[in-house]
Structure 1
Amino acid sequence: MLAFGLVLNTLGIGLFCWAIFALAVHALPFLVALSIGTTALQGGAGVAGALLIGTAGGAVALVFGQAAVASTRSLTLRFAIASAFAVPAAVAGYHVVSALSQIGVPSPAWREVFACLGALYIGGASWVRLTAFTESGVFEQAGPVGRPSQPILTGARCGHDRSPPSSSNRLA
């Protein structure tokens, strides 16, 4: 029974850390979801309606951000959109790591170092997750890889003539 409790505690702590990391990485969509949900709740939508509307609003903010970064050609605009998502994530990461490091790190200097590293890591993770579609070119049209200068089948002939091709019809 003791081993079962240790396993469940380990899984619970792991789930808690994953949830905090996911929330910090998606800080801007979470803020949008929280704002829309609170507005809906104050408008009389009820708890279930506010949760549904808030979740939909946060998901739409994340999808629009990813689509905007992936579809724009301007590097300045991509940088601005990705920064709008990564900076709140870095601030949230700083505060999460700072609060958690107060549990086990006695030195304030080391807590600050860990908090800054957490901010860099979580801000970078947010940046990478937002720009993932840009790397793979999901929204761009795929074309041929080699783009040959001449058509591939230049030496092919129609009909049933089985004679060997002349030197002018051979592929280069």
Structure 2
Amino acid sequence: MIFLGIVLSIAAIGFFCWLLFTLAVFALPFFAGVTVGAWAYHTGAGWLGAIVIGVIGAGLTLGIGQLLLMVVRPLWAKLLIALVFVAPAVIAGYHATHGIVKHTMPSETWQVVFSVIGAVAVGVTAFMRVAGMAATSPSSQSLARA
């Protein structure tokens, strides 16, 4: 029975790590959606209106980010846009890793060390995914050949 508990704990940690790495790119749109939804709720839109406005705000944030990655030409501007999407993912990665390691190790120094390592790992993964979104746009050379 103890073995089953250990296996299920490892599976749960693996699932949540996979979920964190997969959804890290959407940390900025999620934050924007929650902020706009909370604003809509406090202005009297009600809970249903706040959810609809929040989903629209999150979708617009993601769509505008992808559009900017496709349209903007200079590499430094694309990196700046990517960093805007990666920064909330790094913060989310830090706090998610810190939430896990504070239950497993007593030393606060090592908790911070592993939390920073987790933040860097999530940030690199999010950056690669954002860079992949930018790479899927058709280049002008491929359009000229067609």
Give TM-score scaled by structure 2 length: 0.78
Higher-Rg structure is 1
Inter-partner Cα distance in structure 1 for 2:25 and 2:117:
14
Query: Aligned ranges for residues 80-159 of structure 1 at < 5 Å?
Result: 80-138=80-138, 140=140, 141-144=142-145
Q: Secondary structure at the match of 2:62?
A: helix
Look up the match of 1:35.
35
Counterpart of 2:58, as a letter, is G
Letter in 2 for 1:144: R
Equivalent residues of 1:23, 1:30 under 8 A apart: no
Q: Given residue 88 of structure 1, which amino acid in structure 2 is its aligned partner?
A: P
Which consecutive unaligned segments of at least 5 residues does structure 2 have? Answer: none
Unmatched 5+ residue regions in structure 1?
Answer: 146-172
Distance 1:94 1:31 in 2: 16
Deviation at 1:21, TM superposition (A): 4.3
Aligned to 1:63: 63
After superposition, the Cα gap between the structure-2 partners of 1:126 and 1:51, relative to the gap in structure 1 and judged at 3 Å, is: same
| Match of residue 53 from structure 2 | 53
Runs of 4+ in 1 over 4 A off after TM superposition: 5-24
8 Å contact from structure 1 (residues 33, 56) kept in 2: yes
1:74 CA displacement: 0.8
Does the CA contact (< 8 Å) of 1:66 and 1:131 recur in 2?
no
Q: Deviations over 1:72-100 (max 9, x none)?
A: 11112111111111112112211211121
Q: Relative CO higher for 1 or 2, CA cutoff 8 Å, sep ≥ 6?
A: 2
Check the 8 A contact 2:21/2:125 in 1, yes or no.
no
8 A contact 2:82–2:131 mirrored in 1: yes
Distance 1:10 1:119, change over 3 A: closer
